[in-house]
A and B are shown apart, each in its own frame.
Chain A
Amino acid sequence: MTNFTRRKFLQVTGGAVAVSSLGFPAIVGAASKKVVIVGGGVGGATAAKYIRMADSSIDVTLIEPNTEYYTCFMSNEVLSGHRTMESIKVAYDGLKGHGVTVVHDTVTAIDPDGKKVTTNGGQTFAYDRCIVAPGISFADNIEGYDDAAMTAMPHAWKAGEQTVLLRKQLEAMPDGGVVAIAAPPNPFRCPPGPYERACQIAMYLQAKKPKSKLMIFDAKDKFSKMGLFTQAFDRYYKDTIEWVGASNGGQITRVDAANSTIYAGDTAHKVDVANVIPAQKAGAIAIKAGLTSDGGWCPIDGRTFESTLHKGIHVVGDASVAAPLPKSGYAANSEAKTCAAAVVELLNGREPGDPSLVNTCYSVVGPDDAISVAMVYNLTDGKLGKVEGSGGLTSADSSPEMRAREVQYAYSWFENIKKDSWG
């Protein structure tokens, strides 16, 4: 029974104003309101959509090299065979439906004084505000991990081709083989990621290649949700997974890709499948545009996510220094909304309001078992901070019923974050 109100009609068509403003020239005499967004991952896409939803008189251009985007989150389930590549693929039609101009090209330069962005294809885009969401690039902390090594020992820390590569290697590995995950030092994209990956791959190994082993060589002595992951390792993967902390020789310093060998100092580990995740820094364009500080990440203002190094340019997502928010998909989405709201205010000559942010990270650690960490953030004394007393981890003694619900909520998060960011 439908009660098709006008309100519902507008909702369905995305708002009559937004639809009709496509292709129309800017109103004569009005202040120019052009936003150029560099990067179409979670951060860039969310910013584009939320700016358009808030103010359809703002011209938004999003520049992303890939015509299709594969989400890193849930890609661990592709590695275990529990999910298809198709399910982690997102297209850009949704953003186009919000009136975003989507350009598939690579940004090669950002001119903060001239306020323009240049691309590989030779295009130039002028902006009033620029939002840079380039994700990560890899640091040179592992000797021998060059481009050739990236194919032989995939990082699969940018989803897509790398995910398929790693999955194929796992499928080809004989029973009784050894899989190694080299987990990176802090800070890095997706803190629980390597450990969820271990659980997922271990599930696959136990089902299909039960004599195989999985070693985690860690550049750290502690990691995200460590108590809960250790509980899962003990509960489900006792004979499969072994974690080696940095203090016990876990730090991988060199690889010999041609010989399938990874080195922790002088100790060699010959393995069958090596998933090497190097140390990270901000995406290349952020570094090139002078948006990074010594640590390799982009310092920003917590209220607006405007770069503290170049006015008029904002940075959101993994590339930004947004601690205590982690470098996660949910955080990128939350930061992008904060940034979008601020940019809308600034372009309309108003003061940005106070931000409110959330992070939730789910990890599917067993057949009917998922764990999560959640946190609420706001601005305290001008800096991003946790709302006191909020958030926390899944309880170690939560029931199987609740852990099973967390799996469904993890999938719900996944379906919703995809739609919320790109749809």
Chain B
Amino acid sequence: MGCNKKALVALIGSVLMIGTSQVLADPSAKAMADTCAGCHGTNGQSAGPASPNLAGMSASYFIDSMTAFKNLEKGAEQGEDARPATIMNRIAKGYSDEQIEAMGEHFAAMPVYKANVPHDAAKAKAGAEVYDQACAKCHDEGGALPDDDAGILAGQWLPWLQYSMVDFQSGHREMPKKMKKQVEKLSDDEIEAVLNYFASQK
């Protein structure tokens, strides 16, 4: 009986403390988003070679990504709810869901940024056809349309596109059913070509 009461008091105490610290720390979206620039560039415009641009991606996509990173930390199985990460899982858990939403709105308000990405021109040319057949339906305008909620692939850093595809194909990162159907039909060369196509978009 005594044990339960102590536990109850401790629980109430910890809930109150959590509530207090959440009220005290309320940085603006800009204050939080500006810290990302160290790796993702000023205003989400990455200088590469691998960390992705964030500028202009839809809030929805940003929130999904950050939530998937947080879920990885919580031990969710990679694939459905969680996304593989080297470091973003450790960083994402530093923010509440509300803070992630605020940062998502912040980056979504920026114009889409397409970097000048080193790529293979011949592969990119071949990739245009692959794009039309397999990707255009969901990754409109060469992968530059935020409203697709499918990430910004246009002018995106090639190594990052490649890592993402490795994770998709291994099943560690979940592909939407429609995407899986298309990707499974493509050869390694075709995938490499279309990634170069996306990277080359201006």
Contacts and interface: CB of A to CB of B under 8 A. Distances in A.
Contacts of A11: 111
B38 A358 contact: yes
B172 to A, nearest CB: 10
A409 B31 contact: no
Contact of A354 (B27, B47, B163, B202): B27
A333 B39 CA distance: 11
Contact of A360 (B25, B39, B159, B163): B39
Interface size class of B (residues with CB under 8 A): 35 or more
A76 interface: no
A341 B31 CA distance: 8
Contact of B27 (A355, A388, A401, A420): A355
Interface string A318-362: 000000000000100110011001000000000001111110100
B51 interface: yes
B86 A409 contact: yes
Given A356-B27, A372-B86, A405-B86, A413 B35 contact: no
B21 interface: yes
A21 interface: no
By secondary structure, the B interface counts as loop
Nearest to B163: A405
A380 interface: yes
Given A379-B25, A387-B94, A391-B91, A423 B42 contact: yes
Interface string B135-169: 00000001000000000000001010001001000
A351 B47 CA distance: 33
A408 B21 CA distance: 36
Contact of B49 (A1, A388, A401, A411): A411
Given A415-B47, A419-B41, A420-B38, 4 more contacts: A354-B26, A358-B94, A380-B21, A413-B38
Interface of A: 1-2, 5, 7-8, 11, 50, 330, 333-334, 337-338, 341, 353-358, 360, 372, 374-376, 378-381, 387-392, 394, 398, 401-402, 405-406, 408-409, 411-413, 415-420, 423
17 contacts: A2-B202, A50-B34, A337-B31, A353-B28, A353-B31, A374-B87, A378-B27, A381-B24, A387-B25, A390-B91, A390-B93, A402-B84, A405-B159, A408-B50, A411-B50, A416-B37, A419-B41
